[in-house]
């Protein structure tokens, strides 16, 4: 094997965000941009020699090229074996599953999640550690430091490999094993959920469903699991053929971007159940007939009903949610007598809790739910969990959620996003909020009185690491909250996220439109943060 050391110059902008490095494809196409980052990953890992790495991505434009480069660089950096999904494909949760099942040292996942794809779209790359989860901040920070000083990268000279057939190749002494991207993951799902009961529900003639893969990675997974193993008819799977540009769409499973599915579920003859996943298969949206389940409620409902599924029938060790996620799950944890952990935004913060056996279920408001079965959030897992509940409880989605509210109270919840706003102005807005921290307690806004306002900081209960400046919280005396933070996943300008939450115990008051129920808090958010002034926008870009 011929290995060359190529000279390169560092780029200043390779600091990983909430979930890896996400940039425009055109940025990744700059000379050595990808190579620099991959070498910076390898340089930050000790004991890599001879180890096994997992590589795969969501199939977006640039995925194929990036996989070939990574394979050649892996060989040059002394890896022993690389498992790569056929076609260079692996959904993010499947990559996590494969890393764990095969005891790999880690994995490189190629994805910009739900961000649009294609030559003018986005690309992304992130490193996952041996537990199958996103690298913690101390590793991503080392990668970034390396990327600032890099002068050379190592790459083997080798022709592109055929990755479209399952089989084995060699680059020098390194083995490249092309694996089926679906089977390990599908087998794991079958262990966790009652496929017989779900199969019976789906084939009962009384149940209709749709799953929208949004032309992204979950198409092949849905075909194998929902169609081949559970008997869903092909017409129930929408946009199930993955495309390099996601069909020109924006595969973010929410009410705005999954409009095609939403229209079907809100039509007169709507099916009983609808679900969608995102670009890399880790997000999910759950719909009933004319009914939307917020991700925060979904986490709470799954936690309250987990004992009805084979994989979780023995109970939960604890529940973890990101700070901006609603407190609906906290009430379930309290009733179950288990711990509730509040972490910063970013799935990587759940890893230690899951590894230490402190949490079993995790969830985020950003359409992410998952458990200790892998170390990523998992879209199809959430869909199967819901199907299992529907099969056991034999009630509609709406019935299950509204009876949950009656029992626990409802946490009205909404997120307002101001996308692609001027970065400097957004920074000024946040600075002003930060400067106000600690000063608003006791201030009244109509019926609401501020209990405290702070900048959320997290101390990891397992390794003691501290993460500061994770979002401004304005908490009110009745438990309502407004949270402000800037997204760490955008690739253009800044995205301001405002999270609004109000608790309603009275069943008579639980069926309002959330925007109506939260109207006072929306006004208070404007008063406190002067959003219009700083963003120059009258309304949010996306409301979920």
Sites for ligand G16 among residues 75-114 (CB under 6 A)? 113-114
Residue 135 and residue 348 in contact, taking contact as beta carbons nearer than 8 Å: yes
Is the CB of 282 or the CB of 501 nearer to ligand G16? 282
Count of beta carbons in the 10 Å neighbourhood of residue 334: 12
With a CB cutoff of 8 Å and minimum separation 6, the contacts of 397 are 272, 273, 286, 287, 288, 289, 291, 293, 386, 390
Is the CB of 51 or the CB of 414 nearer to ligand G16? 414
Q: How far is the CB of 206 from ligand G16 (least distance, A)?
A: 34
The site map against ligand G16 for 329-368 (x = CB under 6 A) is ----------------xxx----------------x-x-x
Q: Examine the residue annotation and report whether 96 is marked as an active-site residue of this protein.
A: no
Is the CB of 176 or the CB of 529 nearer to ligand G16? 529
Is the CB of 35 or the CB of 365 nearer to ligand G16? 365
Q: How far is the CB of 486 from ligand G16 (least distance, A)?
A: 8
Which token pair is 173? 């002494």
Under the criterion CB under 6 A, does residue 415 sit at the interface with ligand G16? no
With a CB cutoff of 8 Å and minimum separation 6, the contacts of 341 are 318, 319, 320, 321, 353, 358, 359, 461
Which token pair is 256? 């705005």
Residue bearing tokens 């307690």: 441
| CA 344/CA 322 separation, integer angstroms | 5
Is the CB of 194 or the CB of 282 nearer to ligand G16? 282
Only one of the segments 76-84, 155-163, 437-445, 484-492 lies at the binding site for ligand G16 (rule: CB under 6 A); that segment is: 484-492
Run of H or E residues at 336: helix 328-336
Under the criterion CB under 6 A, does residue 298 sit at the interface with ligand G16? no
Only one of the segments 48-56, 221-229, 420-428, 483-491 lies at the binding site for ligand G16 (rule: CB under 6 A); that segment is: 483-491
Q: How far is the CB of 328 from ligand G16 (least distance, A)?
A: 17
Three-state secondary structure call for residue 190: helix
Scanning 150-258, the segments in alpha helix (DSSP H) are 183-192, 195-202, 218-222
Is the CB of 136 or the CB of 346 nearer to ligand G16? 346
Residue among 19, 254, 369, 491 that touches ligand G16 (CB under 6 A): 19
Q: How far is the CB of 134 from ligand G16 (least distance, A)?
A: 7
Q: How far is the CB of 33 from ligand G16 (least distance, A)?
A: 20
Which token pair is 389? 């509940």
Residue 531 and residue 500 in contact, taking contact as beta carbons nearer than 8 Å: no
With a CB cutoff of 8 Å and minimum separation 6, the contacts of 124 are 19, 20, 21, 22, 23, 110, 111, 112, 113, 115
Size of the site for ligand G16 (CB under 6 A): 16
Sites for ligand G16 among residues 220-279 (CB under 6 A)? none
Residue bearing tokens 């999954």: 258
Residue 90 and residue 109 in contact, taking contact as beta carbons nearer than 8 Å: yes
Eight-class DSSP state of 229: I
Residue among 11, 14, 16, 18 that touches ligand G16 (CB under 6 A): 18
| CA 62/CA 508 separation, integer angstroms | 52
Count of beta carbons in the 10 Å neighbourhood of residue 442: 10
Q: How far is the CB of 216 from ligand G16 (least distance, A)?
A: 11
| CA 301/CA 309 separation, integer angstroms | 13
Q: How far is the CB of 377 from ligand G16 (least distance, A)?
A: 7
What size, in residues, is the chain? Answer: 544
Catalytic residue among 113, 277, 296, 480: 113
* Strand 174-179 relative to strand 81-89, pairing: parallel
Only one of the segments 292-300, 313-321, 404-412, 485-493 lies at the binding site for ligand G16 (rule: CB under 6 A); that segment is: 485-493
Which token pair is 34? 């990808």
Residue bearing tokens 């700083």: 534
Run of H or E residues at 406: helix 397-408
Residue 216 and residue 58 in contact, taking contact as beta carbons nearer than 8 Å: yes
| CA 14/CA 67 separation, integer angstroms | 19
Is the CB of 19 or the CB of 326 nearer to ligand G16? 19
Q: How far is the CB of 240 from ligand G16 (least distance, A)?
A: 20
Q: How far is the CB of 283 from ligand G16 (least distance, A)?
A: 5
Is the CB of 35 or the CB of 364 nearer to ligand G16? 364
With a CB cutoff of 8 Å and minimum separation 6, the contacts of 21 are 14, 15, 37, 124, 125, 126
The site map against ligand G16 for 371-410 (x = CB under 6 A) is ----------------------------------------
Residue among 131, 487, 510, 541 that touches ligand G16 (CB under 6 A): 487
Residue among 161, 497, 501, 514 that touches ligand G16 (CB under 6 A): 497
Residue among 77, 309, 343, 489 that touches ligand G16 (CB under 6 A): 489
Is the CB of 158 or the CB of 283 nearer to ligand G16? 283
Under the criterion CB under 6 A, does residue 282 sit at the interface with ligand G16? yes
Three-state secondary structure call for residue 97: helix
Is the CB of 23 or the CB of 81 nearer to ligand G16? 23
Binding site for ligand G16 (CB under 6 A): 18-19, 113-114, 282-283, 345-347, 364, 366, 368, 487-489, 497
Could you list the active site residues?
113
């Amino acid at each position: 094997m011929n290995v060359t050391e190529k000279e390169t110059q560092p780029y200043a902008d390779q600091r990983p965000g909430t979930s890896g490095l996400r940039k425009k494809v055109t940025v990744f196409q700059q000379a050595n941009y990808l190579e620099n980052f991959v070498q910076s990953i390898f340089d930050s890992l000790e004991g890599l020699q001879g180890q096994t790495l997992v590589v795969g991505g969501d199939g977006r434009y640039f995925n194929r090229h990036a996989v070939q480069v990574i394979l050649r660089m892996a060989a040059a950096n002394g890896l022993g074996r690389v498992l790569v999904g056929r076609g260079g494909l692996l959904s993010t949760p499947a990559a996590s599953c494969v890393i764990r099942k095969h005891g790999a040292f880690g994995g490189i996942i190629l994805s910009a999640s739900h961000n649009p794809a294609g030559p003018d779209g986005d690309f992304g790359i992130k490193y996952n550690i041996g537990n199958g989860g996103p690298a913690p901040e101390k590793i991503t920070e080392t990668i970034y430091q390396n990327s600032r000083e890099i002068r050379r990268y190592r790459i083997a000279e080798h022709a592109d490999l055929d990755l479209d057939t399952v089989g084995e190749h060699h680059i020098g002494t390194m083995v490249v094993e092309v694996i089926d991207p679906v089977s390990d993951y599908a087998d794991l799902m079958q262990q966790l959920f009652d496929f017989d009961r779900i199969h019976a529900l789906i084939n009962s003639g009384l149940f209709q469903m749709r799953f929208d893969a949004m032309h992204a990675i979950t198409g092949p997974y849905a075909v194998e699991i929902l169609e081949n193993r559970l008997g869903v008819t092909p017409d129930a799977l929408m946009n199930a053929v993955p495309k390099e540009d996601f069909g020109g769409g924006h595969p973010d499973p929410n009410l705005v971007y999954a409009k095609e599915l939403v229209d079907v579920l809100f039509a007169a003859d709507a099916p009983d159940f609808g679900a969608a996943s995102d670009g890399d298969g880790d997000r999910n949206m759950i719909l009933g007939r004319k009914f939307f389940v917020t991700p925060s409620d979904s986490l709470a409902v799954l936690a309250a009903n987990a004992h009805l599924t084979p994989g979780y029938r023995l109970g939960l060790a604890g529940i973890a949610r990101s700070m901006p996620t609603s407190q609906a799950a906290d009430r379930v944890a309290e009733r179950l007598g288990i711990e509730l952990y509040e972490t910063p935004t970013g799935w990587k913060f759940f890893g230690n809790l899951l590894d230490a056996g402190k949490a079993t279920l995790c969830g985020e408001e950003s359409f992410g739910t998952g458990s200790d079965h892998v170390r990523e959030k998992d879209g199809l897992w959430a869909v199967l969990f819901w199907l299992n509940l529907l099969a056991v409880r034999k009630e509609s989605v709406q019935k299950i959620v509204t009876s949950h509210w009656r029992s626990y109270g409802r946490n009205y919840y909404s997120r307002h996003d101001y996308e692609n706003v001027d970065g400097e102005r957004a920074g000024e807005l946040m600075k002003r909020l930060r400067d106000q921290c600690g000063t608003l307690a006791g201030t009244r806004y109509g019926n609401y009185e501020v209990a405290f306002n702070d900048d959320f900081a997290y101390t990891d209960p397992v390794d003691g690491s501290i993460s500061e400046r994770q979002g401004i919280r304005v908490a009110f005396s009745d438990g309502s909250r407004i949270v402000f933070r800037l997204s760490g996943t955008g690739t253009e300008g800044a995205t301001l996220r405002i999270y609004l939450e109000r608790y309603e115990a009275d069943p008579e008051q639980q069926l309002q439109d959330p925007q109506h129920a939260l109207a006072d808090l929306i006004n208070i958010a404007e008063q406190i943060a002067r959003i219009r002034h700083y963003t120059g926008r009258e309304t949010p870009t996306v409301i979920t």
